[in-house]
Amino acid sequence: MSRGAGAMPYGFTFDLRGLPRSFFQELLKLAYSLKIHRRMSHAARYLVKKFRVQEITGLNLLEAISLFEDLLEIQVLNILNRDGFMAAGGRKVLFLPHCARKYMDKRCRAEFDPSTPTYRCMSCSPDCLINQASAIARERGYDVYVLPGGSCIPKILALRRYDAAVGVACGAELKLGYMALKRLGIPGQAVPLLKNGCAETYFDVEELRKLL
């Protein structure tokens, strides 16, 4: 679930891996308890200060709030779509971002299929996130696409009918992905990137494993 190839949905880069997991848990809890998950700038501002997000990540306040509002919305959408996703039988698909490959040059042995377009991971590196995520998903019967950009998703969904979908991308792109799935009536789940950029992006494989 990502936007067009090469496009950066945020005008800034982020790396949230230094933040404690409790930050996200508390953010979600607070939004839910206040029933303001769609308009929670105030709560986000409070937690950004409490967890010293600016010092840890280098984001400024507005960037941090914009980012966490997106992440929060993704968590809420995951919860709202969970039952439908779990009830879906049939064919499931996982969309992964190519920027999370271990290598972005010739050392990556993935084959590129321009007709889809997608990369086919050839499992050259056991510690590559794409390799790990693909292995888990295939074991569970998912088709896996490693996408150069989110613009490929409508094409894939038009070519092949899927009954449920999981995507990994940054929060802004996941929200777009969710909208695309909603139009097609496909229940989805999403895992947000914890580090964005054009290369060496990062997501939590264990979080993905739990969602699949």
The binding site for ligand SF4 (CB under 6 A) comprises 101-103, 108-110, 121-125, 128, 130-131
Q: What radius of gyration, in Å, describes the C-alpha atoms of the chain?
A: 17
Closest to ligand SF4 by CB, 90 vs 114, is: 114
Closest to ligand SF4 by CB, 80 vs 122, is: 122
Minimal CA–CA distance to 212: which of 143, 166, 147?
166
List alpha helices for 18-151, DSSP H. 21-34, 41-50, 53-57, 61-87, 129-139
Shortest Å distance, C-beta 149 to ligand SF4: 16
Interatomic CA distance for residues 105 and 98, integer angstroms: 11
Shortest Å distance, C-beta 113 to ligand SF4: 13
**Amino acid (one-letter) located at 123:** S
Shortest Å distance, C-beta 97 to ligand SF4: 11
Closest to ligand SF4 by CB, 97 vs 187, is: 97
Interior CA angle at 162 toward 129 and 206, to 5°? 25
Shortest Å distance, C-beta 158 to ligand SF4: 25
Strand boundaries in the chain, DSSP class E: 92-97, 111-113, 118-120, 143-147, 164-169, 188-192
Interatomic CA distance for residues 84 and 89, integer angstroms: 10
Closest to ligand SF4 by CB, 74 vs 133, is: 133
Shortest Å distance, C-beta 199 to ligand SF4: 12
The label of the residue with tokens 């308890």 reads 33
Return the H-helix or E-strand segment holding 56. helix 53-57
Closest to ligand SF4 by CB, 125 vs 151, is: 125
Shortest Å distance, C-beta 102 to ligand SF4: 4
Say how many Å lie between the first and final Cα of the chain, rounded: 15
Two tokens, residue 159? 């070519």
Closest to ligand SF4 by CB, 130 vs 164, is: 130
